[in-house]
Amino acid sequence: MPTISKKGASMPESPIRKLVPYAEKAYKQGKTVYHLNIGQPDIKTPQIALEAVKIHSLDILAYTRSEGSEGYREKIANYYAKNDIHVKHDDIIVTTGGSEALLFAFGTIMDTDDEVIIPEPFYANYNGFSTASGVKVVPVISKIEDNFALPPIEEFEKLITPKTKAILICNPGNPTGYLYSKEEIKQLAAIVKKHDLFLIADEVYREFAYDGATHYSILQEEGLEDYAIIIDSVSKRYSMCGARIGCLVSKNKTIIQTALKFAQARLSPPTLAQIASEAALETPQSYFDDVIEEYVERRNVLIEELNKIEGVQVANPNGAFYCIAQLPIKNSDAFAQWLLESFDIDGETVMVAPAAGFYSSPGVGLNQIRIAYVLNTDSLKKAVNILKEALKVYKD
């Protein structure tokens, strides 16, 4: 029988998906499962975006340009200008989600065996995209004790080798909820310039900055034009995960010309979803104000309730909608499975994401879970109570 590739064999499984069969078993037993495990917001998509798909006047659902329709890219550039990020429409390539923008970025700047330094814990699929691109992830550990702040710059410098091509950050962070300060971005800017590396910033959670903090983009940093690549997406901003629209943004013309070749190979990003995403750009600020208020309330409830549980340590997130909690257990994979298979309160249980999949260093994060606060506050309270009671009886 022919064999699959080494690359295919080494593709990591999603740390969340592998628990799905256990969740399905729990549903079959009639249990309610509170999903703290996925970043699928329960927030309504702006009506204006949904309407745009209903009222379009297309006769043919044709391809668009590989880099995305010009009208949409012009409007994206306006959106960035409002966020003090000054780019032109031809600095933007529309992609099939931020996921494809990450693949294009990796393909554009890295060859097989090149290295990318990523503060960990990081968005688990960075491992998958790296494997698919034959690239090695070199983690630099950020710690729960420091709220997952940027590790000291010397730690990055120690890891730079002739194979290092880029530093990748997620700001605000999934799974940490950490929002990098302007000062931290400046430190990263200095190091990439000094060592001639690219800086990729996954800014898909840009709007989700709390407690009066403002997001500082790498493209607001002067002098970083040739080094900076932004990964962006409508998925979380407008609760449009199913639209599958994102973009790659860079002022570096060679990056854009090269990424465009990858875009041409897959012909076009989705046409109808670009129409919806273009309309979504008209979403009023009041929508975001309400959404942010809702997430802050959820975060406050979640952190307060988690802090009441003995032995639980939690980093306070000031962006995105995730947090990492450290539990008084040895193995969160086994704990998460046990919650679904063997624990409930009045027929209700929780599904969490074991955090080990958000690290690439073996053996790190085994006692941590990632929680997505994408449920209303009542459900969050019930879910944390289930965790609390579960921890009282769980034995690893």
Ligand X SMILES: Cc1ncc(COP(=O)(O)O)c(C=O)c1O
Residues lying near ligand X in the complex (CB under 6 A) are found at 39, 97-99, 123, 170, 174, 202, 204, 233, 235, 241, 246
Smaller CB separation from ligand X, 248 or 386: 248
- In the complex, what is the shortest distance from the CB of residue 72 to ligand X, in angstroms, rounded to a whole number? 15
The residue type of 278 is E
Of the two residues 184 and 202, which places its CB atom closer to ligand X in the complex? 202
Q: Which is nearer to ligand X, 23 or 320 (CB)?
A: 320
- Cβ(133)–Cβ(103) under 8 Å? yes
Question: Whose Cβ is closer to ligand X: residue 170's or residue 281's?
Answer: 170
Q: Is the dihedral of CA 38, 39, 43, 47 positive or negative?
A: negative
Minimum CB separation from ligand X for residue 252, in Å? 21
Please name the residues in contact with 340: beta carbons below 8 A apart, sequence gap of 6 or more: 19, 22, 23, 25, 26, 33, 349, 351
Burial pattern 83-113, b for ≥16 Cβ within 10 A else e, equals bebebebebbbbbbbbbbbbbbbbbbbbeee
Q: How far is the CB of 57 from ligand X (least distance, A)?
A: 27
Nearer to ligand X, 97 or 107 (CB): 97
Q: CB–CB of 299/321 below 8 Å? A: yes
Query: DSSP letter string over 165-232?
Result: EEEEEESS-TTT-----HHHHHHHHHHHHHHT-EEEEE-TTTT-B-TT-----GGGSTT-TTTEEEEE
The radius of gyration computed from the CA coordinates of the chain, to the nearest angstrom, equals 21
Nearest approach, Cβ of residue 347 and ligand X (Å): 30
State the nearest-atom distance from the C-beta of 123 to ligand X, in Å: 4
Considering beta carbons, is residue 80 or 343 the nearer one to ligand X? 80
Q: Which residue sits closest to ligand X, CB atoms considered?
A: 97
- Nearest-approach distance from CB 102 to ligand X, in angstroms: 7
Smallest gap from residue 14 Cβ to ligand X (A):
11
Please say which residue, 37 or 174, places its beta carbon nearer to ligand X.
Answer: 174
Amino acid sitting at position 107: G
Which CB, 123 or 156, lies closer to ligand X?
123
Dmax (CA) of the chain: 61
**Helix, strand or coil, per DSSP, at residue 59:** coil
Which spans in the chain are helix H?
6-10, 20-28, 47-55, 70-82, 97-109, 125-133, 153-159, 182-195, 253-265, 271-280, 285-307, 332-342, 377-393
Query: How many C-beta neighbours within 10 Å does residue 14 have?
Result: 15
For residue 373, is it left (φ>0), alpha (ψ between -120 and 50) or beta? beta
Residue type, 359: Y
- Least separation in angstroms between residue 1's CB and ligand X is 34
| Residue 271 CB, nearest approach to ligand X (Å) | 17
Q: How far apart are CA 315 and CA 293, in angstroms?
A: 20
Compute the least distance from the CB of residue 126 to ligand X, in Å: 8
Q: What tokens appear for 366 in the block? A: 């085994």
